[in-house]
Amino acid sequence: MADPLVFKVHRQQSELIIPANPTPHDFKPLSDIDDQDGLRVQLPLIFLYRFHPSMRRNDPVRLFKQSLAQTLVFYYPFAGRIREWPNRKLVVECTGEGVLFVEADADVSLEQFGDAIRPPFPCFDELLFDVPGSNGIVNCPLMLIQVTRLMCGGIIIGLRYNHTISDATGILQFWSTVGEMARGARVPTVPPVWERHLLNARDPPSVTCVHEEYTEVADTDENIPLVDKDHRSFFFGKEEISSLRRLAPPHLGHCSRYELLTACMWRCRTIALQPSPEEEMRIICIVNARNTFNPPIPKGYYGNCIAYSAVKARAGDLSQKSIGYAVELLRKAKAKITEEYMRSVADLMVIKGRPWYTMARSFLVSGTARLRFDEVDLGWGRAVFGGPARGNVASFHIAFRNKNGEDGIVVTLCLPKLAMQIFLQELDSMLSKDHPTGGSNTKFTMSSAL
């Protein structure tokens, strides 16, 4: 295993970037989907850009700050602060105070990160400094950004945002607007839409669906600190995906890549954790529900429009049956998400006090591979990597182009260290040509998976 990358970062004093023009001062309530406990978190993203000749003409940090300020004119709630009203209702006070920004320089080049520039990133805490007092949900900046210049001329942008105001689709929309402003636009191609009332509870609220994702489950897992876990990511290109597809039964041969990879990871993860055959294993799929509404959720809506859909299975069935068994379960989970289901979730939030989804004995998966964060052009071309920076709690599917120019999907995973070793062996077995149905020669060894 290669020595861990170590470098020094010199940061300037943090500052607030305010909208470039005056913006309204008002109160904007979040939706009853937005302010559930499970979304009251900060999510980290990272973008890595190689040196571009335009960086010689325009200071990339100054250009970025200007573009960000212009974007905040249209997305001015991001420049405000979350307040909590009675009954734990969250609202954005649009104060125009701005988002928190840090400028930095690092004594490292992009090439030193190696060929696999993907999560988990070394020294991420250096690339996104946790400014004291900035990581709360209420009464704090909604976004923290650090732009770090590298010795090679490239830059790394670390970003942390308050999940209550946007889901992945929404934050990509915001980020794409920053890119448009950097390239000379004056207005966004897709105007932002607030309209959070569209996802509020009904009057009176009525829970009409079964929501296993919010059902309390006894936690039999050991509380293992994150430092004692192994954080990895895995690249699945065309060859690996074809190998897994051959393991599916004929009637599931055309299942989506998300279904295929999630089924594979769920099965291998279950085997790695070595539960008893009768133990219940749960998976929670984070589903974009925008297309389930009639009339549709307006284009440009940047709030949370996601559902946590849970299904469960016996550990013995997941471990012993084919990958098709898990694929069928995942399809059932996705099929549950309808407009009525989302209405029922919003009603449940109001009735039960906005509970957290149940993480006990659960595998949480977010399929963001269709969201091309890496294609956001801030004036310097596409990113070498763009997307979630960590996968400590959820497993993320991230679009990625490797060093050979091959497009594929990176999947993050966090497991206890011993379980990760078993997981690697099981995944190699599924992808091996020695497998009864064939496979690739990919070997996710202890070093190549990093």
72: burial class by Cβ within 10 Å (0-12, 13-18, 19+)? buried
Sheet strands (E) in 86-127:
89-93, 99-106
Are the C-beta atoms of 101 and 15 separated by less than 8 Å?
Answer: yes
Report d(CA 266, CA 209) in Å as an integer.
25
CA angle in degrees (0–180, nearest 5) for 443-112-109 = 150
Task: Identify the active-site residue in 52, 163, 211, 397.
Answer: 163
Output the six-digit token pair for 339: 């407009």
DSSP 141: B
Find the distance separating the first CA and the last CA of the chain, reported in whole Å. Answer: 9
CA count, 13 A, side-chain hemisphere, 306? 28
Output the six-digit token pair for 125: 């805490």
Task: Identify the active-site residue in 37, 105, 377, 435.
Answer: 377
Nearest to 389 by CA among 144, 224, 213: 144
Specify whether 377 is catalytic: yes
Output the six-digit token pair for 192: 């932002």
Are the C-beta atoms of 191 and 74 separated by less than 8 Å?
Answer: yes
Output the six-digit token pair for 275: 């539960």
Are the C-beta atoms of 303 and 33 separated by less than 8 Å?
Answer: yes
Are the C-beta atoms of 140 and 281 separated by less than 8 Å?
Answer: no
Report d(CA 399, CA 369) in Å as an integer.
4
Specify whether 254 is catalytic: no
Report d(CA 182, CA 192) in Å as an integer.
17
Return the active site residues: 163, 377
